[in-house]
Amino acid sequence: MVHKHAVGFIGFVRVSSDKQAYEGESLAQQKVLLDEYATVFGTTVEIPYPCVEKGHGTSTERQNFRLTVKEARERCLPILVRDASRLSRSVKDLNLIDLRKTPVFVVGEGRVTKKRLCELVQKAEEQLEQLRIDGKQSRLRNGVSAKKPKSKAFKPKNTRAGALGNQDRAHRRVRKVQQFLNQHPDFCDLTLNQLIQKLHAADIKNLKSERTGKSIDWTVGALRPVRKAALEQIALDAEPMDELIIS
């Protein structure tokens, strides 16, 4: 039965080693951040399975992650995490979460779409893979043997960095337009050309060229997918929490 008030989040806090559990972004520190975020909604966060486990791996290695997803699904509560890498470092794990029924909130991001969550987790996955490669190269430099990666699917470092950089740039463009439309909701119904005029009048440009460093003006072709994504995110954010949460 759906109630008309929010009753909370299911939080997930995770570190990869016993040492990390008590220093840096420790389990306790993550919990503090989740508690602070939950107060924005006038509610609390429950963390049933804080854990020391890898952000990827088999079902046995990710037992607490699976238990958290199950808990949130059965209680129809959204999941709250400090950042996407705490939730998972493997895009495959996201197949366990039906975001339509179990929304995921990320501190600093809010409720995230499936596409955005996949982007964030993929970035964490790529960073983890780079750490592995760097570790193997370091052992080789120190005279310690290391096996070559079995997979030939590894992309060059600069290719991965470029792809992730493009994703971040695209997300920033959407956020800029989304914030502008939130401030001026009447502009949501404007034509693309009319919206371009409003954006330029507000000095909101289409980011800067990485090559020249100059601001790029909006065009109809550039703005069309950005406006579509911004309107989708606005509609997603407009869904009331009380329709998502069941006691």
So where are the chain's domains? 9-116, 170-239
CATH class of 9-116: alpha beta
pLDDT, residue 152, reads: 47
Residue 99 tokens, joined: 């975001």
How far is it, in rounded angstroms, from Cα 179 to Cα 177? 5
- Residue 10: enclosing H or E segment and its boundaries? strand 9-12
pLDDT at position 136 is: 65
Residue 109 CB neighbours (<10 A): 16
The pair phi, psi for residue 105, each rounded to 5°, is -110, 135
Question: What's the mean pLDDT in 104-113?
Answer: 90
- What tens digit of pLDDT does each residue of 197-232 get? 999 999 888 877 667 778 788 998 889 988 988 888
Reported as a single tens digit per residue, the pLDDT across 158-183 is 454 455 556 667 778 888 898 899 89
Burial 36-54 (b: 16+ CB within 10 A, else e): ebbeebeeebbbebbbebb
For position 165, what pLDDT does the model report? 57
pLDDT of amino acid 245: 44
For residue 73, what pLDDT is reported? Answer: 95
Contact 98, 73 (CB under 8 A): yes
What is the model's pLDDT at position 3? Answer: 38
Q: Give the long-range contacts of residues 141-147, CB within 8 A, separation 24 or more.
A: none
What is the per-residue pLDDT for 32?
92
Q: Which of 15-24, 29-38, 82-91, 100-109 has the lowest mean pLDDT?
A: 15-24
Three-class SS of residue 12? strand
Q: Among candidates 193, 186, 184, 175, which has minimal Cα distance to 230?
A: 175
The pLDDT score that the predictor gives to residue 17 is 84
Q: What is the DSSP letter of 101?
A: T
